[in-house]
Amino acid sequence: MAKSLVVGATGLVGSHVLKQLALVEESPIAVLRRTPNDLPDNVMPIEVDFDELLASGDLPHCDHLYLCLGTTIKTAGSQEAFRKIDFDYCLGIAQMAAKSGASVISLVSSVGANASSKNFYLRTKGQLEDAIKLLNFSRINIYRPGLLIGDRQKKRSAEKVGQLLSKVFDPFLIRGLSRYRSIEAALLANTMIDNGNAGKGVNYFHFKNFNTW
C-alpha cells in the first residue's frame, strides 16, 4: 500500500486530508509542529521545527506528499515571513520528499496563482507551483481553490465575512468564473485523495474538478 505524508496536517485542508487518509491507509504520516489531541490513532506523527528540518533533517520514505502548509500575510506578520512559510518551507519539504522517494505530490495552491502576478500572495503561490514543477515527481497535482469554507483553529475575521458573502455570490459565478467559488475544505480534501492516481505529469484542479456533492 502507498505511504502518504501530510504537511500542514493541523490546518483547515490538511486536517481533513489526514482524517480521510486515516480511514483508508494503514498509517499515514503527519509532519507537524505539535501533535493535536484529536489525531487518529493510526496516524504516525512527526513533530518538527521547520527551520531545523530544512537545515539538517530528513523525511521518512513516502510515496505521496500532500503539501497543505500555508498561512496569510496578516497571520505571518510580514511579506517576508509569509514567503518563508508558503515558499521556502513548502519548496524545501517538496525537495526532501522527492529525495526520500515520493513520486506524487498534491499541492494546495490558490485560484489566480501566477508567478507574474502583481499581487504578492498570488505571485508567491505561482512561483511555488513553477518551482515544484521542476522537481522529480512523476505526478504533480495542483489544486487552486477559491475561498476555503470550514472551522479553523485560529479564527480569521475577514474569512468569516467572506464565507457569509460567498453564500450570496457563489450562485452567480458561472462558466469561467466558477473557479472563484468557495469550497468546503472537507470536499477539497476528498477530491485530493480521489485524484491521487490522476494521470502522470502536471494536473491542475479548479472548482469544476472538485467533489462538490
Domain positions in the chain are 4-205
Burial (Cβ within 10 Å: 0-12, 13-18, ≥19) of residue 73? middle
CA dist., res. 102 & res. 137, Å (int) = 7
From the list 125, 154, 160, 167, the catalytic residue is 125
Cite the beta strand spans of 88-151 per DSSP E.
Answer: 104-108, 139-143, 148-149
pLDDT at 160: 57
- 134-159 burial by CB neighbour count: b if 16+ within 10 A, else e? eeebebbbbbbbbbbbbeeeeeeeeb
pLDDT at 155: 54
User: Which pTM value belongs to this model?
Assistant: 0.92
pLDDT at 151: 76
pLDDT at 36: 87
pLDDT at 85: 97
pLDDT at 211: 81
Q: Is the dihedral of CA 150, 116, 197, 71 positive or negative?
A: negative
pLDDT at 1: 65
pLDDT at 4: 97
Q: Which of the residues in the chain have pLDDT under 70?
A: 1, 152-173, 213
Residues composing the chain: 213
pLDDT at 11: 94
CB distance 59 to 93 below 8 Å: yes
CA dist., res. 79 & res. 124, Å (int) = 10
**Does 180 participate in catalysis according to the annotation?**
no
CB distance 213 to 178 below 8 Å: no
CATH number for 4-205: choose from 3.40.30.10, 3.40.50.720, 3.30.450.40, 3.40.50.2000. Answer: 3.40.50.720
Please choose, from the candidates 145, 158, 135, 124, the residue with its C-alpha nearest in 3D space to the C-alpha of residue 209: 145
Rg of the chain over CA atoms, in angstroms?
16
> Diameter of the chain by CA atoms?
49
Spatial strand order in the sheet of 104-108: 44-47, 29-32, 4-7, 64-67, 104-108, 139-143, 201-205
From the list 3, 84, 121, 180, the catalytic residue is 121
Grid cell in block for residue 8: 500542514
Grid cell in block for residue 170: 457563489
**Does 143 participate in catalysis according to the annotation?**
no
